Chains A and B, each alone.
Chain A
Amino acid sequence: MRLPSIFFMLLAFLFSLSSVALTFEPTLDDPAQEAHANALFREIRCMVCTAESIHESKTELAQDMRTLVRTKITEGLSDQAIKDYLVERYGYEILMSPPFVPLTYMLWLGPVLLLLLGITLILLFSRNRRT
């Protein structure tokens, strides 16, 4: 399928050159959309530099991912759909925050369960001592 050149021209219309993550790259013209994109960048990990999100990272991969996210936003995809798209290709590692799926139930619920267990044990012990 060949994309009409008009498509590229329209894309160019939506982007302007400005600075993000301290590099120059095309950003979206609509500030609300760009702010939305920026918020989403913070939730996606840069696969090359371990602790940074693509909001901070200067690597080539991060730049391209930002371009992708912006494109997908202009295409109207929801945040979840964009994340699913990336997870399909890169795995769960691509998300800064692990999702709440069966695989990660113990991660999210573990601490709370321990807290409840602890409180229960303390109450049990104190009741034992009283009788």
Chain B
Amino acid sequence: MQRIVLFLPFSVALLLMVMFGVRLTAPETPPQQQSRMIGKSLPTQSIEQLNEAEPLSASDLKGRYVLLNVFASWCAVCTLEHPNLMALNHPELSLVGVNWKDKKVNANGWLTRHGNPYDTVIWDYDGRWVVELGVTGAPESFLVSPDGTIIYHYAGALTPQLIEHEILSRLP
């Protein structure tokens, strides 16, 4: 009886070691599977634009593939990602920037310094769209299909390889 009771911690310990081993050696799950936003639609509220007077809504972005890119002047990594976005040029893809928590003057200054690849820039000072989109940091990007559904979500800086394999590959 005693031996059976003692066997319990032994087997639990063994299972635990196996589990740790699996977890350590497992490849990092691709961001695709980690995101909860795949298949969801863009936020329904309309939102102010950086340099236009009228607000923008999700319906304005329908009809074409859109790459939504969350960026900010206070985000250091965004400067590293930016040249890759500047180089991105696809006839079917529209680039929409979501400027997060910047004063307009800072946002525009940053775009002047680093270049502006965006067709439109949303000004999300309160994070209204940012929190709706389940964003945890900048830079973060979403690929949206013409009917307004999110088909890809990546948290981090987009590299040329990622753009090639994950974004351009999903375009017609």
The docked-state distance in angstroms from the alpha carbon of A88 to that of B100 is 21
B136–A90 CB distance below 8 A: yes
B36 contacts A by Cβ under 8 Å:
yes
Q: A2-B46, A68-B131, A121-B5 are in contact. Are A89 and B136 (CB under 8 A)?
A: no
The docked-state distance in angstroms from the alpha carbon of A63 to that of B131 is 10
Q: In the assembled complex, how far is the CB of residue A103 from the closest CB belonging to chain B, in whole angstroms?
A: 15
Interface residues of B in 99-143 (CB under 8 A from A): 100-101, 126-128, 130-137
B136–A2 CB distance below 8 A: no
B136–A61 CB distance below 8 A: yes
Which residues from A are CB-within-8-Å of B135?
61
The docked-state distance in angstroms from the alpha carbon of A120 to that of B29 is 42
B45–A3 CB distance below 8 A: yes
Closest to B136 in A: A47
Which bracket fits the contact residues of A? 10 to 19
Interface residues of A in 109-131 (CB under 8 A from B): 121, 125, 128
A64–B45 CB distance below 8 A: no
Q: A1-B46, A2-B55, A2-B57 are in contact. Are A67 and B127 (CB under 8 A)?
A: yes
A64–B36 CB distance below 8 A: no
Interface string of B17-46 (1 = CB under 8 A from A): 000000000000000000011000000111
A48 contacts B by Cβ under 8 Å:
yes
Hey, which bits of chain B sit against chain A, CB under 8 A?
1, 5, 36-37, 44-46, 55, 57, 72, 74, 100-101, 126-128, 130-137
In the A-B complex, the 7 residue pairs with the closest CB atoms:
A64-B127, A89-B134, A47-B136, A60-B101, A68-B131, A67-B126, A64-B131
What would 30 A/B residue contacts be, using CB atoms closer than 8 Å? A1-B44, A1-B45, A1-B57, A2-B57, A3-B45, A3-B46, A3-B55, A47-B136, A48-B137, A60-B72, A60-B74, A60-B127, A61-B130, A61-B131, A61-B137, A63-B127, A64-B126, A64-B127, A64-B128, A64-B130, A64-B131, A65-B131, A67-B127, A67-B128, A68-B128, A88-B36, A89-B36, A89-B132, A90-B134, A125-B1
